[in-house]
Amino acid sequence: MVKEKLTQDAAMGNSGMGAGTDGELYCLCRTPYDPLRFMIGCDGCDQWFHGECVGVSESESELVDMYYCPDCTDKGHQSSWKTKCANPACNKPALLPQGKYCTRACGMIVAHARLTQSEAKRRAILGESNYHGHARSGLVSAADMDDRKRLIQVREQQGKVRRAIELIERRTRFLKKVVRRAMVMRAGGENGVPVTVSPQKTTKSKGKGKKGAGGEEDGALCGFDFRLVWDDGKWRDGDENFDGSDDDLSDVDMSEDGKKSGRVCRDPKKKCGKHVGWQKLKMLEVEQEKGIQTHLLTKLGKEEKQIKARMKR
């Protein structure tokens, strides 16, 4: 019979137990049914008993295999119990024959507690100085070994993140260089080949909608450089001439051969729908990437300090 804390719905079922309105009495104490009190059913006579009256708590009921009331016990029946989980703090049945714990997690809790207790005893016996001497000589616990392995992993990850940040900074320098170059690229050379003008000239005409030499809207080209969309692998192995380390704005070949290379977008700025606002978007992109990697590097640094602190205990 299933042992359970009866609700009023269960009490109205096959057991015939009402909510006390039919005057029927239950248990050894002969009282009406109370849905708030835990009850357990006898597998012999099918009667119900308060757990507190027969010495079975609600938590212990999970371990009951077959329960027999005192009267049925006197007739020769014997209650049987399931094997309890080996965790002293757990009252659930063990998952036999797979193991002696109710779950794998419960077993891990016990193992961790035993390891902690064992380490505390070792410290007490050896003393702090001797304990650390044993650790330095290679007599370390499983927990120490885990920390050492994790420390190696953390340092490897830190190296990868630092290299990623260096690459982002290289891309940022190149982006700034491309933006400056785009500001001085103008159409109007021979055969429609783009030319560059002095940055000083681009700032002379500030009137809105004005047209003239050097004006913002006078022949301005898009200037988007397709090297900005290189993946990290290509950037790591890419042309060292384009690391953004210098301020030279004449690295783009303005000849017809250079025009065919397709590295820089030479469409009029006002008509280029593919690269609208590329300067701000690309700058925001590299700033966000650097922020993410910097945050990760800080997080790894904190974990490294925590691991070192544990290893010194």
Write down the residue that tokens 């016996």 correspond to: 125
Residue 128, pLDDT score: 52
Who wins on pLDDT, 5 or 42? 42
- Residue 128 and residue 159 in one domain: no
Within-domain flag for 69: yes
pLDDT at 9: 39
Q: Are residues 103 and 159 in the same domain?
A: no
Q: Is the same domain home to 134 and 111?
A: yes
* Average pLDDT in the chain: 74
203 domain residue, yes or no? yes
Residue 64 sits in the same domain as residue 92: no
Place of tokens 């020769």: 76
Is residue 62 pLDDT above 90, yes or no? no
Same-domain pairing of 235 and 106: no
Note whether 64 and 198 are same-domain residues.
no
pLDDT value for 72: 93
Q: So what's the pLDDT on residue 106?
A: 85
| Least confidently predicted of 50-64, 82-96, 205-219 | 205-219
Q: Give the count of domains, the chain.
A: 3
Model confidence at 177, pLDDT cuts 50, 70, 90, reads: very high
Cβ-based neighbours of 7, under 8 Å, separated by 6 or more: 35
pLDDT of residue 185: 81
CA 5 to CA 34: how far, in whole Å?
Answer: 11
Higher per-residue confidence, 126 vs 267: 267
Rounded average pLDDT over 260-275:
82
pLDDT digits (tens, 9 = 90+) for 154-169: 999 999 999 999 999 9
Q: Is the pLDDT of residue 182 over 50?
A: yes
The reply to whether 294 falls in a domain is yes
Report d(CA 262, CA 256) in Å as an integer: 11
Domain boundary among 34, 51, 81: 81
Q: What is the pTM of this model?
A: 0.45
Distance, in Å, from the CA atom of 70 to the CA atom of 183, rounded to the nearest integer, reads: 97
Are residues 77 and 113 both part of a single domain?
no
Task: Assess whether 180 and 272 both reside in one domain.
Answer: yes
The CATH number of whichever domain residue 69 belongs to comes to 3.30.40.10
Query: Is 1's pLDDT higher than 50?
Result: yes
How buried is 66 (Cβ within 10 angstroms: 0-12 exposed, 13-18 middle, 19+ buried)?
Answer: middle
2 inside domain:
no
Residues recorded for the chain: 313
Domain around 224: 145-300
307 within a domain of the structure (yes/no) = no
Same domain, 271 and 160: yes
